[in-house]
């Protein structure tokens, strides 16, 4: 049976962060758009006759071009019906271009080499806000840093979206706006309030709840100038402790400062004992794995040199001693259930 004992010192640190990185202006957001169209020019990898709606769409398109033909007579395999999705950024103006995503709706084998025909892109209100059209790019990443996971029935038309109707957002004439923190935290909400009021030396910000701060524009500034100053202010931000686990890949993501409280637990042939302190200098028969980690060879013990144990060092130490990803995930979940880990645990 293996025994793992880890000791670490957790230092609680604050992060100096700009308000713009942790909050957003209520009402200023992306808008999702959706549309339906056809992708043409495929090399016999399009929808078959099973996808009747595709051939009906071809017939409707041809009819609009004064070519009258029954959908049952159409046998083309070079066309695929697709759903087009996109996000329209706030303050987008008429004529602006943006990327759109194209996904197969029928039983097409691949959209590679295809061209999207003009697709009206509608908002939740049913109105057309943009048009989409252009050649598809399938998979990989481009020089812009974006892209999709390689998949033959999903593609992107870079710059294929064209804004036709603007979504008006009038900030200039407002006297009041509301900030919304991206994470609910009452301390951070108060910190934002105090930072803004201190900067202006008057009560222009009021924290309404753990996420909401209401702002009043000063008389000597426009709302745009006011928001520019507010977003550039820094606060000592307290990040929310969170551990993310991907069970399919065995990936564990955790902040380096997430503390594990003292606990003794057994998982299979692995026994873990976490204490508050240890004198690593007295450890005999040990191997220094790195500057922070020491493994006791004889007793299969693991010590760290900084005091109290963290999730990051627990995971790293278990990996050094050959624990499987499934073992590590099960151990973290058990510690969370036992109350040894107070951070939020999210399994994806």
Q: pLDDT digits over 66-93, tens only?
A: 888 887 788 888 999 999 999 999 999 9
User: What distance in Å separates the CA atoms of residue 123 and residue 196, rounded to the nearest whole number?
Assistant: 36
Q: Are 187 and 81 part of one and the same domain?
A: no
* pLDDT per residue as tens digits for the range 314-340: 777 777 777 777 888 888 888 888 787
Query: Is the pLDDT reported for residue 12 higher than 50?
Result: no
Q: Does position 345 have pLDDT exceeding 90, yes or no?
A: no
Q: How far apart are CA 1 and CA 343, in angstroms?
A: 29
Mean pLDDT for the chain overall: 80
pLDDT tens digit sequence for 201-256: 999 999 999 999 999 999 999 999 999 999 999 988 777 777 777 777 667 776 65
- Residue 175 confidence (pLDDT): 94
Q: What is the pLDDT, as a whole number, of residue 281?
A: 52
Task: State the pLDDT at residue 7.
Answer: 37
Contacts of 13 (CB under 8 A, 6+ apart): 257
How confident is the model at residue 69, as a pLDDT? 82
For residue 96, the enclosing domain spans 35-163
CA angle 146, 151, 157 (to 5 degrees): 45
pLDDT at 6: 37
CATH code assigned at 222: 3.90.1150
In 3D space, the residue among 263, 274, 282 whose CA is nearest the CA of residue 309 turns out to be: 274
Judgement on whether residues 267 and 325 belong to the same structural domain of the protein: yes
Residues 208 and 255 in one domain: no
Please classify residue 33 by burial: count the beta carbons closer than 10 Å to its beta carbon, then call 0-12 exposed, 13-18 middle and 19+ buried.
buried
What average pLDDT score do residues 36-47 get?
93
Q: Is the pLDDT of residue 96 over 90?
A: yes
pLDDT at 38 over 90: yes
Strand order in the sheet with 344-347: 251-254, 242-246, 344-347
**Residue in the structure block whose two tokens are 């691949």:** 110
Together in a domain, 223 and 248 = no
Residues 283 and 306 in one domain: yes
- Asked if 66 and 118 sit in the same domain, the reply is yes
68 & 185 share domain = no
Structure confidence at residue 279 (pLDDT): 53
**How many angstroms separate the Cα of 230 from the Cα of each of 199, 215, 294?**
9, 10, 47
pLDDT band at 143 (very low <50, low <70, confident <90, very high): very low
248 and 330 fall within a common domain: yes
- Single out the residue in 216, 237, 258 at which a domain terminates: 237
For residues 45-65, average pLDDT: 88
Whether the pTM exceeds 0.85: the reply is no
Q: How many domains does the chain have?
A: 3
My answer on whether 8 and 19 are in the same domain is no
Q: Tell whether 207 and 259 lie within a shared domain.
A: no
Q: Do strands 128-135 and 344-347 pair parallel, antiparallel, or not at all (unpaired)?
A: unpaired
Instruction: Clarify whether residues 248 and 203 are in a common domain.
Output: no
276 has pLDDT over 70: no
My answer on whether 76 and 157 are in the same domain is yes
Is pLDDT larger for residue 2 or for residue 57?
57
Alpha carbon 8 to its chain's center: 30
> So what's the pLDDT on residue 255?
62
Q: What is the pLDDT of residue 221?
A: 92
Which H helix or E strand runs over 339? none
What is the per-residue pLDDT for 331? 82
Choose one of 100, 128, 163: the last residue of a domain: 163
pLDDT tier at 15 (50, 70, 90 boundaries)?
A: low
Instruction: Give the pLDDT mean for 87-113.
Output: 94
Question: Domain end: 237, 267, 283, which one?
Answer: 237
């Amino acid at each position: 049976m293996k025994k793992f004992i880890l000791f670490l010192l957790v230092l609680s640190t604050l992060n100096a962060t700009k308000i713009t990185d942790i909050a957003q202006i209520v009402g200023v957001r992306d808008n999702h758009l959706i549309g339906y169209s056809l992708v043409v020019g495929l090399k016999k990898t399009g929808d078959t006759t099973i996808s009747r709606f595709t051939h009906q769409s071809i017939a409707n398109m041809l009819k609009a071009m004064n070519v009258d033909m029954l959908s049952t007579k159409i046998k083309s395999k070079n066309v695929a019906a697709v759903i087009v999705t996109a996000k329209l950024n706030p303050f987008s103006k008429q004529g602006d271009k943006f990327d759109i995503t194209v996904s197969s709706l029928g039983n097409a084998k691949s959209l590679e080499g295809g061209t999207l025909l003009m697709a009206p892109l509608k908002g939740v209100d049913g109105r057309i806000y943009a048009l989409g059209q252009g050649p598809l790019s399938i998979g990989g990443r481009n020089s812009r840093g974006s892209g999709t996971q390689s998949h033959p029935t999903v593609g992107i038309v870079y710059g294929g979206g064209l804004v036709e109707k603007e979504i008006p957002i009038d900030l200039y004439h407002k006297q009041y706006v509301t900030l919304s923190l991206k994470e609910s935290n009452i301390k951070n909400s108060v910190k934002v309030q105090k930072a803004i009021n201190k900067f202006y030396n008057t009560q222009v910000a009021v924290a309404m709840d753990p996420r909401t701060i209401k702002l009043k524009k000063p008389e000597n500034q426009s709302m745009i100038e006011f928001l520019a100053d507010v977003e550039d202010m820094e606060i000592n931000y307290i990040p929310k402790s969170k551990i993310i686990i991907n069970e399919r890949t065995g990936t564990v993501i955790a902040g380096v400062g997430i503390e594990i409280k003292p606990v003794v637990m057994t998982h299979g042939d692995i026994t873990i004992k976490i204490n508050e302190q240890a004198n690593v200098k007295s450890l005999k028969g040990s191997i220094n794995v790195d500057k922070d980690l020491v493994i006791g060879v004889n007793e299969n013990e693991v010590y760290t040199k900084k005091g109290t144990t963290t999730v990051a060092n627990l995971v790293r130490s278990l990996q050094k001693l050959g624990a499987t990803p499934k073992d590590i995930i099960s151990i973290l979940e058990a510690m969370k259930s036992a109350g040894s880990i107070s951070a939020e645990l999210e399994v994806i």
